[in-house]
Structure 1
Amino acid sequence: MALDQLEEGWATVQMGITKLINIIEGVPESPMDAEIRMKMYTTVYTLGSPPLDYSEELYKRYEGVLNDYLSCKVLPAIQEKRGDVSMLQELVKRWDNHKVMVSKLSRVFHYLDRNYVVRKSLPSLKDAGFACFRKLSMRR
Structure 2
Amino acid sequence: MNAHLSFEDGWKVLEQGILTCSKILEGSTGTRPTVAEYMNCYDCAYRMAVQTTSYCEEMYNGYRATLAESVRALVLPHLMHKRDDYLLRQLEKMWSNYCIMVKCISGFFNYLDRCFVEQRKLPCLEDTAATSFFSTVFSFFSHEVSEALLTLIRQERDGSNVDMDILMVIMRGICRSEVKSFMRNAVVQDTYAYYSRKSSEWIVQYPLQDYLAMVQDCMEKETMRLISYLHIPEGDSTELCLKVVSAPLMQMYDSYAREKQIGGQLLLQTYKTVEDDLLARCNRLTIDSGVDNSSGSYME
Partner residue of 1:32? Answer: 33
Question: 1:137: Cα distance to partner?
Answer: 3.4
Partner residue of 1:20? Answer: 21
Identity %: 29
Distance (Å, rounded) in 1 between the aligned partners of 2:71 and 2:31:
23
Matched, 1:108 2:108: yes
AA matched with 1:13 = L
Partner residue of 1:54? Answer: 55
AA matched with 2:104 = K
Higher Rg: 2
Distance (Å, rounded) in 1 between the aligned partners of 2:107 and 2:24:
17
Partner residue of 2:71? Answer: 70
Cα 1:22–1:123 change in 2 (3 A) is: same
Residue 122 of structure 1: SS of its match in structure 2?
coil
Deviation digits for residues 23-73 of structure 1 (CA, Å, limit 9, x no counterpart): 43246x864211111000000000111312100000000001111011121
Mapping 1:97-136, distance limit 5 Å: 97-136=97-136
Cα 1:30–1:88 change in 2 (3 A) is: closer
Residue 109 of structure 1: SS of its match in structure 2?
helix
- Measured on the aligned residues, the alpha-carbon RMSD in Å equals 2.2
Contact 1:46 1:52 in 2 (8 A): no
Distance (Å, rounded) in 2 between the aligned partners of 1:26 and 1:99:
12
- TM-score, normalized by length of structure 2? 0.43
Contact 1:102 1:130 in 2 (8 A): no
Partner residue of 1:41? Answer: 42
Distance (Å, rounded) in 2 between the aligned partners of 1:117 and 1:30:
28
Where do 5+ consecutive residues of structure 2 fail to align? 142-300
Question: 1:136: Cα distance to partner?
Answer: 2.4
The number of residue pairs the alignment matches comes to 138
Residue 75 of structure 2: SS of its match in structure 1?
helix
Question: 1:99: Cα distance to partner?
Answer: 0.8
AA matched with 2:114 = R
Cα 1:26–1:137 change in 2 (3 A) is: closer
- TM-score, normalized by length of structure 1? 0.87
Distance (Å, rounded) in 1 between the aligned partners of 2:63 and 2:87:
27
Cα 1:47–1:98 change in 2 (3 A) is: same
Contact 2:48 2:56 in 1 (8 A): yes
Distance (Å, rounded) in 1 between the aligned partners of 2:134 and 2:25:
19
AA matched with 1:128 = T
Show structure 1 runs of 4+ deviating over 4 A. none
AA matched with 1:12 = V
Where do 5+ consecutive residues of structure 1 fail to align? none
AA matched with 2:34 = D
Deviation digits for residues 85-129 of structure 1 (CA, Å, limit 9, x no counterpart): 332221111110111122111111111111111111101001111
Distance (Å, rounded) in 1 between the aligned partners of 2:65 and 2:131:
12
Contact 2:25 2:97 in 1 (8 A): yes
Distance (Å, rounded) in 2 between the aligned partners of 1:31 and 1:94:
17
Contact 2:46 2:111 in 1 (8 A): yes
AA matched with 1:10 = W
